[in-house]
Chain A
Amino acid sequence: DAGVIQSPRHEVTEMGQEVTLRCKPISGHDYLFWYRQTMMRGLELLIYFNNNVPIDDSGMPEDRFSAKMPNASFSTLKIQPSEPRDSAVYFCASSARGALHFGNGTRLTVT
């Protein structure tokens, strides 16, 4: 089992640029979650999907953030345009029932 796979591991970009984060969940998991970790707010939920359908996106901070899940094995989180305050570690997690399984995260730095 390869676990949840996220790419890239690190992303450094300039303010105003578009950023796309990618996630491959564990095969057979029907829930997918995007979380963001910052020092100030800890781990906060951005959006989650069930069977590829977005269920709750109330945690998405602004319209600059969007997420898609075109199929059961792939999801993206896009930030356009990016701002320095978006700098954080972004985690994707998947589950079937019970505990979430996290990827290793993408560390985003916006300068």
Chain B
Amino acid sequence: DQQVKQNSPSLSVQEGRISILNCDYTNSMFDYFLWYKKYPAEGPTFLISISSIKDKNEDGRFTVFLNKSAKHLSLHIVPSQPGDSAVYFCAARRGNSGNTPLVFGKGTRLSVIA
């Protein structure tokens, strides 16, 4: 039973346009959410996070939006660049202390076309 769902296995976007990656979760106890980026033959690397007390967090070209009532979050990348081509994992946990492990979605493969 997937508690974190990324329903789009892949996404293609033109360079310079916006990329929107979506994620849904079912466990209402989750209160901290993260996005990870993964290149081939490498481990996932942390990209951006958001606490449930916020509805938006921005870091440069990357913005994460959280809609708690819908149990939905999204990652926006503006403008998209070819180097953003990777697999993006949505993850969630209860709390931000590291006491509980991250639950991951299956990932969305983003291809940014030049």
- Chain A residues proximal to chain B, CB less than 8 Å: 4, 30-31, 33, 35, 41-45, 48, 50, 56, 91, 93, 95-105
Q: Mark B52-93, 1 if CB is under 8 A from A, else 0.
A: 000000000000000000000000000000000000010000
A sample of 27 cross-chain residue pairs with beta-carbon separation below 8 angstroms, ordered by A number, consists of: A4-B43, A33-B101, A33-B102, A35-B104, A41-B106, A42-B89, A42-B104, A42-B105, A42-B107, A43-B89, A43-B104, A44-B104, A50-B99, A56-B101, A91-B44, A93-B43, A97-B96, A97-B98, A98-B96, A99-B49, A100-B46, A102-B44, A102-B45, A104-B42, A104-B43, A105-B41, A105-B43
Q: Tell me whether B34 is interfacial, beta carbon within 8 Å.
A: yes
If over half of B's interface residues share one DSSP class (helix, strand or loop), that class is named, otherwise mixed; here it is loop
- Nearest CB to that of A41 among chain B residues? B106
- Chain B residues proximal to chain A, CB less than 8 Å: 34, 36, 41-46, 49, 89, 96-99, 101-107
- Nearest CB to that of A48 among chain B residues? B101
- Given A43-B104, A45-B103, A97–B97 Cβ distance below 8 Å? yes
* Chain A residues, Cβ within 8 Å of B42: 104-105
Q: Which of B34, B36, B43, B89 has the most CB of A within 10 A?
A: B43
Q: How far is the CB of B53 from chain A (nearest CB, A)?
A: 15
* Chain A residues, Cβ within 8 Å of B49: 98-99
| 8 closest cross-chain pairs (CB), A and B | A102-B43, A42-B106, A43-B104, A99-B46, A97-B98, A95-B98, A104-B43, A102-B44
State the CA gap A35–B36 with chains docked (Å).
14
- Nearest CB to that of A93 among chain B residues? B43
State the CA gap A62–B9 with chains docked (Å).
28
Q: How far is the CB of B49 from chain A (nearest CB, A)?
A: 7
* Chain B residues, Cβ within 8 Å of A44: 104
Q: How far is the CB of B93 from chain A (nearest CB, A)?
A: 10
Given A30-B98, A102-B45: 11 more A-B contacts, CB < 8 Å: A33-B102, A42-B89, A42-B106, A43-B107, A45-B101, A91-B43, A97-B97, A98-B96, A99-B49, A102-B43, A102-B44
